[in-house]
Amino acid sequence: MKLVKIEERRASIASEIRNAYIDFSAMDVSVVKITTDVVIDGEPVVGYGFNSNGRYAQSGILRDRIIPRIEGAPAESLLDDTRENIDPSRVWTAMMKNEKPGGHGERSVAVGVIDMALWDIVAKVERRPLCAVLAQRYGRGAPDPRVFVYAAGGYYYPGKGIDELRREIAGYLERGYSTVKIKIGGRPIAEDIERIEAVGDLLDGDFGRLAVDANGRFDLATAVQYAEAIEPYGLFWYEEAGDPLDYELQSDLAGHYRPALATGENLFSMQDARNLLRYAGMRPDRDYLQMDPALSYGLVEYLRTLDVLAEHGWSPRRCIPHGGHQFALHIAAGIGLGGNESYPGIFAPFGGFADDTPVEDGYVALPDVPGIGFETKGALMDLFRRLF
């Protein structure tokens, strides 16, 4: 087999929402389509990939470095030992030729976009859902039949007050989510506490089903001030209080906060994740890790990260990736992670899962179709057809 064509396009996911650090008025993503010479049911096997929200399209890196390296590599060197399928780890080596270590920047996002499309191809060639392929290769034989998902929302929005927040969260609960997340740190603390109280009210006082996310906004003093204010609620987690690379802040914070902490969505390599485990005081019995394969060199790198987790005594169940995409959902089901993020109604049509698999009691099942299952999302496939 061989890869015959790799195309990249930019798609907007702009919106008026904002978190404590950025707005999303110019947010976009790279989308790739990789066509192979394998024909199944009369059609060439095609893989799709895209990056998660929060980082921008990587058109330049993809077109100038990553895609030409794949095209320039001997076709044989990208295949697995059967010669009938792609080996994403061998393509990874080709993509990263002449890239120095460290300083991961956004090339990790570009590589992640291609990696997603490669795994889509691998599973389609095997004619199985990706989660089944992963469970056999890296998991416990069979995938989890359903995956925990939580609704990440509660963004700041022009003119949005407590009433609008309550309506938004009530909508998530009606859609079948049991756990929700809201932003903090974009308003004065008293106002954020009021928002937490309002959402907790909708959850019948069960604050253990509410997570909060500061998006790296706080210095240590502010992080601790929030920690002391929210600790009595026993929230699901307190996410990314300080700068994602400030491991000392994270470690100090753990000394002030007993319930669960979460971070990792802005760590883009195995080495960065390893530093987090080494130096940030994260606690394997309660905290959560949110590295997002689509932003951090793809599943090939994520498997390395999972090995490091195991060496440090962490279960993959403590991982609930950022990003809200179907790729991470398959990884969660196949390898046995703790769950996956979800953004109902935003970052459409990239976020969300198969059209005909609703969320029930906070869990979602995976469709039984080959690959990642983008074909089960009508709006996403319409966009792919327009782009390519």
Whether residue 182 contacts residue 351, with contact meaning beta carbons closer than 8 Å, is answered with no
List 33, 104, 124, 183, catalytic entry: 183
Q: Which of 104, 181 has the CB closer to Mg ion?
A: 181
Q: How far is the CB of 87 from Mg ion (least distance, A)?
A: 32
Q: Is 288 within 8 Å of 318 (Cβ atoms)? A: yes
Residue nearest to Mg ion (CB): 213
Q: Residue numbers of the site for Mg ion (CB under 5 A)? A: 213
Q: Which is nearer to Mg ion, 115 or 213 (CB)?
A: 213
From the list 104, 322, 330, 377, the catalytic residue is 322
312 is catalytic: no
**Smallest gap from residue 215 Cβ to Mg ion (A):** 6
Q: Phi-psi region for residue 168, left (φ > 0), alpha (ψ -120 to 50) or beta? A: alpha
Q: How far is the CB of 54 from Mg ion (least distance, A)?
A: 8
Coarse DSSP helix, strand, coil percentages of the chain, rounded to the nearest 5 percent? 40, 20, 40
8 vs 213 by CB, closer to Mg ion = 213
- Cα gap 2→195, rounded to integer Å: 53
Please spell the DSSP secondary structure of 73-84, one letter per residue.
Answer: S-GGGGB-TTSS
CB of 291 to Mg ion, least distance (A): 12
Cβ neighbour number for residue 386 with a 10 Å cutoff: 9
| Token pair recorded at residue 156 | 């700041």
Q: Which is nearer to Mg ion, 45 or 320 (CB)?
A: 320
- Distance, in Å, from the CA atom of 196 to the CA atom of 207, rounded to the nearest integer, reads 9
In the complex with Mg ion, the residue whose CB is nearer, 217 or 330, is 217
- Distance of closest approach, residue 240 Cβ to Mg ion, in angstroms: 5
- C-alpha 198/C-alpha 258 separation (Å) is 23
Q: Show the CA angle centred on residue 16, arms to residues 12 and 22, nearest 5°.
A: 85
- Positions marked catalytic: 183, 322
